[in-house]
Amino acid sequence: MRFAKAQTPIQLPGEHDTLHYIPLGVGAVIPPWNFPCAIMAGMTLASIVSGNTVILKPSSDSPTIAAKFVELLEECGMPEGVVNFCPGAGASFGDAVVAHPQTRYIAFTGSREVGLHINKAASTQAPGQIWIKRTILEMGGKDAIIVDADADIDSAVEGVAQAAFGFQGQKCSACSRAIVDERVYDKFLQQLKARVEQIKVGDPAENANMGAVINEGSMKTILGYIAQGKKDGRIITGGERATQAGEGYFIQPTVIADIQPKSKLEQEEIFGPVLAVIKARGFDHALEIANDTEFGLTGAVYTNSRDKIDRAIREFHVGNLYINRKCTGAMVGAHPFGGFNMSGTDSKSGGPDYLYLFTQAKVVGEKIV
């Protein structure tokens, strides 16, 4: 294993100096409902291959996949007690696990609000607690795609549509802001409207492109943002419940143009099929708008200018930046995932340093006799 091959930078004369990475202990793994297998399995397996034991508390909206995953681990011979499947409400059971003095770390993926709550709770020393709890947090985003004046508009429209409305926009990486140069703004909106109106809403088992949102509460929240958008901007397409899709929490894919920087729809994560389109005076202004939220998870730039690409690499402050492609679809290994600022601790899951977060380093200097 890579950890076992770690070496100290130098060997002192007369000593044998070694560096060991050892497990942290008992960890709370709290995955989200929107990727109930991939994220849950990634955080759990990172914990156990690093030598830790796990309390696995899946989202109340999607516990079954986690239960089946634990069954598979047991079939593969995982010893009893290494991963403990513990479904429960976040506000009661989840809080208790986070606050417990024997919990050594918390790996969490979810909303900004819950992530900050976990971080605050973990920072409080409980009676009998002898360590500083580690938090590995991946939270929300207000992800933007910049469309420059010299971009391939066809490609940009397709990328924005896929990133905004894939999985009903229920991804922390989803494009919720399209920041478009004023010189191509009207053309972009015209083509985007036609593309989005091709999206079929309904049961994905019947080959619909877009299904329902997760629950009634989420639907009401999203419709509230759409109502605000009708006041602050201009509905290009969508803007209502998708009643034609049948019973369920279906919402039309919604594009709202002329949204102003610093407004509610431009700043707050919606986590639904709603795209705010913002007009930029040029590339400088577009970068300024892109960086003006408290988040920093994913972003993308469509441009044919090498200079602007290089500027985006330097100045677009996100953990995962994509050039001339959509801002969703991070591939493990190729795109280690994690964000800046209120998007989390930039834990870069799928990257070469990820497992170190689940360990602690111990150095041994042994005098040679």
Q: Looking at 71, 74, 80, 172, which residue is catalytic? A: 172
Name the residue type at position 205: A
To which residue do tokens 């407004």 refer?
A: 263
The pLDDT value recorded for residue 29 is 98
**For the chain, which domains are there?**
2-139+344-367 (3.40.605.10), 143-323 (3.40.309.10)
Q: Cα dist. 171→117, 119, 162, 176, 347 in Å?
A: 20, 21, 12, 10, 17
216 is catalytic: no
User: Which of 74, 86, 113, 138 is the catalytic position?
Assistant: 138
Sheet strand arrangement including 143-147:
234-237, 254-257, 274-280, 175-181, 143-147, 298-302, 320-323
pLDDT of residue 295: 98
Backbone phi, then psi, for 298, in 5-degree steps? Answer: -120, 165
Tokens, residue 113: 């609000």
Nearest-5° angle of CA 10, CA 16, CA 22? 85
Residue 272: how many CA atoms within 13 Å on its side-chain side? Answer: 30
For the chain, which ranges sit under pLDDT 50?
Answer: none
Radius of gyration of the chain (CA): 23
Q: Is 172 a catalytic residue?
A: yes
Residue 220 and residue 226 in contact, taking contact as beta carbons nearer than 8 Å: no
Q: What is the pLDDT of residue 1?
A: 62
Give φ, ψ of 65 to 5 degrees. Answer: -60, -40
Indicate the angle between helix axes 153-165 and 185-196, nearest 10 degrees: 50
Structure tokens of 267? 């700043």
One-letter amino acid of 147: V
Residue corresponding to tokens 């004369």? 13
